[in-house]
């Protein structure tokens, strides 16, 4: 019941807050610059307001402050806010510096790695060192959880960021993922995870009202980096860090498509996919945005469902 109430309140808050935020961002020229290598239809989206992730991050933060304020929840909130601040700096660079689409790759990776290490230290300090692994139960990683969390934060935040290239895609997939995470947290009786995951799921649903095709607002790196970082912290606190690839299966596929295509171009001088990330490949072969989002979201929902079933029945408990 708590999860449903939190999600519903977050949705209502988001629906009420987003219209004035869109107007405020538009008035201040906070429009995103679109990369020249993206498919032609995306060039028309240049100038669409960004920074939309600020609202769903703020809603999750307020939900934690009002309903939880636990140290366990703070680890997730730290990951969320840390990712949001880094993403906001990246978005600000995109908006204000005409010849740059954001921070340099090394700068971003260094900051993400630092956030990941700090999240990992928090997880180790909080006792979340046991993580379920297929066939091995839940071995204790000890301080190894710090390094695993750091790698996961870098990977997940960039993966969500890569997925955020079609109207509604990253937000819909993330909504399913956080809804499933909230369900797992309910089974595990982890109140802080329930509150934060449910708040993000509800707020993302509200965001989709304005981000669905044609988008009036983008989440920007402010939202995508925050979501990826928070997802890692939530999964770790539910002892499911090794199950992130299944939980975020669409994010993984998008990342692999970039790695495969870039490697093929550099080593063999030819593309395997027409474009990458993967959603751009399907756009190039003629799949319309709405149908593409529906198909990818169905895969995200399936990955989430399988993870929830494992957490519920495969482990006895995710706690």
User: Taking the domains of the chain in order of start, what are their residue ranges?
Assistant: 2-314
Predicted local distance difference test score (pLDDT) of residue 41: 62
Residue for token pair 């379920």: 132
Instruction: Compute CA distances 133 → 126, 147, 170, 240, 253, whole Å.
Output: 20, 16, 27, 8, 21
Predicted local distance difference test score (pLDDT) of residue 33: 66
User: Residues 11, 202: contact at Cβ < 8 Å?
Assistant: yes
pLDDT digits (tens, 9 = 90+) for 234-284: 999 999 999 999 999 999 999 999 999 999 999 999 999 999 999 999 999
Instruction: Compute CA distances 303 → 38, 177, 180, 199, whole Å.
Output: 27, 8, 10, 21
3-state per-residue secondary structure call for 271-296: CCCCCCCHHHHHHHCCCCHHHHHHHH
pLDDT digits (tens, 9 = 90+) for 85-98: 999 999 988 887 65
Predicted local distance difference test score (pLDDT) of residue 228: 98
Angle between helices 191-211 and 220-237 (to 10 degrees): 150
Predicted local distance difference test score (pLDDT) of residue 307: 98
pLDDT at 317 over 70: no
- Mean per-residue pLDDT, 77-89: 97
Instruction: Compute CA distances 251 → 14, 74, 102, 160, 205, whole Å.
Output: 24, 25, 21, 6, 18
Q: How confident is the model at residue 312 (pLDDT cuts 50, 70, 90)?
A: very high
Q: Is 248 helix (H, G, I), strand (E, B) or coil?
A: coil
Does the pTM exceed 0.75?
yes
Predicted local distance difference test score (pLDDT) of residue 39: 62
pLDDT digits (tens, 9 = 90+) for 34-51: 665 566 565 567 778 999
Task: Note the residue count of the chain.
Answer: 319
Q: Is 140 helix (H, G, I), strand (E, B) or coil?
A: strand
* Tally of CB atoms within 10 A around 140: 9
- Mean per-residue pLDDT, 127-139: 93
- Mean per-residue pLDDT, 162-189: 97
For residue 231 the two structure tokens come to 């997802």
Any idea which of 23-32, 170-179, 265-274, 289-298 has the lowest mean pLDDT? 23-32
For residue 284 the two structure tokens come to 């190039």
31 forms beta bridges with 49
Predicted local distance difference test score (pLDDT) of residue 230: 98
């Amino acid at each position: 019941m708590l999860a449903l109430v939190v999600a519903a309140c977050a949705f209502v808050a988001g629906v009420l807050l987003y219209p004035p935020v869109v107007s405020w961002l538009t008035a201040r020229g906070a429009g995103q610059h679109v990369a020249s290598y993206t498919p032609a239809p995306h060039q028309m989206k240049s100038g669409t307001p960004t920074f939309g992730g600020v609202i769903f991050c703020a809603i999750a933060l307020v939900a934690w402050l009002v309903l939880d304020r636990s140290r366990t929840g703070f680890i997730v909130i730290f990951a969320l806010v840390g990712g949001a601040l880094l993403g906001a700096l990246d978005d600000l660079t995109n908006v204000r510096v005409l010849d740059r689409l954001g921070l340099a790759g090394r700068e971003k990776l260094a900051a993400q790695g630092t956030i990941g290490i700090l999240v990992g230290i928090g997880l180790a300090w909080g006792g979340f060192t046991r993580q379920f692994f297929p066939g091995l139960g839940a071995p204790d990683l000890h301080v190894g959880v710090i390094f695993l969390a750091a790698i996961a934060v870098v990977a997940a935040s960039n993966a969500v960021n890569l997925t955020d290239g079609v109207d509604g895609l990253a937000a819909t997939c993330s909504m399913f993922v956080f809804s499933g995470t909230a369900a797992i947290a309910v089974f595990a009786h982890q109140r802080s995870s329930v509150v934060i995951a449910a708040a993000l799921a509800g707020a993302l649903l509200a965001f989709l009202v304005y981000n669905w095709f044609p988008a009036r607002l983008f989440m920007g790196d402010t939202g995508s980096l925050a979501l990826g970082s928070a997802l890692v912290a939530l999964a770790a606190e539910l002892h499911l860090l090794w199950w992130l690839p299944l939980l975020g299966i669409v994010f993984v596929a998008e990342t692999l498509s970039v790695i495969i295509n870039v490697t093929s171009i550099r080593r063999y001088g030819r593309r395997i996919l027409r474009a990458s990330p993967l959603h751009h490949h399907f756009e190039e072969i003629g799949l319309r945005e709405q149908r593409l989002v529906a198909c990818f979201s169905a895969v995200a929902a399936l990955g989430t469902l399988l993870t929830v079933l494992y957490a519920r029945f495969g482990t006895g408990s995710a706690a």
